[in-house]
Amino acid sequence: MNGHAFRTVLWSAAFAILIAQFVRPNHSNPAVSGDLLAPPVVKDALERACYDCHSNQTRWPWYSAVAPFSWWIHHEVEQGRRRMNFSSWTDYTSDPGTEDQKLDEVARLIANGAMPPWYYLAMHPGARLTPGERIAITRWIAGEKSSHTSSSMR
Ligand code: HEC
């Protein structure tokens, strides 16, 4: 490629990135309808490590306004909220079977380190759960689930 062709490619790429900025996903936070209730240690840890993608209280970072990251981040948050949303947790607690299922998934994904996702931790090192927080969350989940078992035996 000669110098002229190379500059043309660079300018086209720059132009494409510029135009991409006009395609803006809607980074809104819908209303919180029934937030999770949990002991402060558990709640704080989940808020710090999970709420950006699994609640309606997303803290959108500045780069979430820059295409193409904006499209990707928007997609992650949309998927995360759809699969599990702490802001409408009462939808799950109204049916203990559903809440138990979500709690099992949370315990499993925290234990195997799949959540929060590695790319999120790379951008938010402070979101890493401490060993103490993992234990607190695991205990809380076990307690929640056994309280459902005992109430359904009544
Ligand atoms: C960067 C965004 C992000 C963060 C932060 C995040 N998640 Fe997720 N999570 C996702 C996405 C996206 C999915 C859907 C994954 C898929 O469909 O493959 C998901 C799926 C899940 C699921 C599966 C839900 C179901 O029942 O299908 C659980 C449980 C979960 N995450 C728990 C957590 C927990 C607990 C934390 C915090 C410790 C967390 N996540 C932090 C993005 C995130």
Concatenated DSSP letters of 59-128: ---GGGGSTTHHHHHHHHHHHHHHH--TTBTHHHHTSHHHHHHHHHHHHHHHHTT-SS-HHHHHH-GGGS
Q: Which residues line ligand 1 (CB under 6 A)?
A: 49-50, 52-54, 76, 79-80, 83-84, 102, 105-106, 109-110, 115-117, 120
Q: What is the dihedral of CA 96, 101, 106, 109, to 10 degrees?
A: 170
User: How far is ligand 1, taken at its centre, from the CA of residue 8, in Å?
Assistant: 42
pLDDT at 153: 54
| Rounded distance from Cα 86 to ligand 1 centre (Å) | 11
pLDDT at position 24, please? Answer: 87
> What was the pLDDT predicted at 83?
97
pLDDT score of 146: 86
Distance 76 CA to ligand 1 centre (A): 9
Domain count, the chain: 1
Blockwise average pLDDT, block size 10, the chain, 154 residues: 91 93 88 96 98 97 92 96 97 92 97 96 96 97 87 56
Distance CA 126, CA 117 (A): 13
pLDDT, residue 26, reads: 81
Neighbouring residues of 81: CB distance < 8 A, sequence distance ≥ 6: 53, 54, 55, 56
75-to-25, 64, 65 alpha-carbon distances in Å: 9, 11, 13
Ligand 1 center–CA 77 separation, angstroms: 9
The pLDDT value given to residue 25: 86
pTM here is 0.90
Q: Are 129 and 137 in contact (CB under 8 A)?
A: yes
Residue nearest to atom 37 of ligand 1 (CA): 50
Work out the burial of residue 134: count CB atoms within 10 Å of its CB; fewer than 13 is exposed, 13-18 middle, 19 or more buried: middle
Residue 85 belongs to domain spanning: 3-152
Q: 3-state DSSP call for residue 131? A: helix
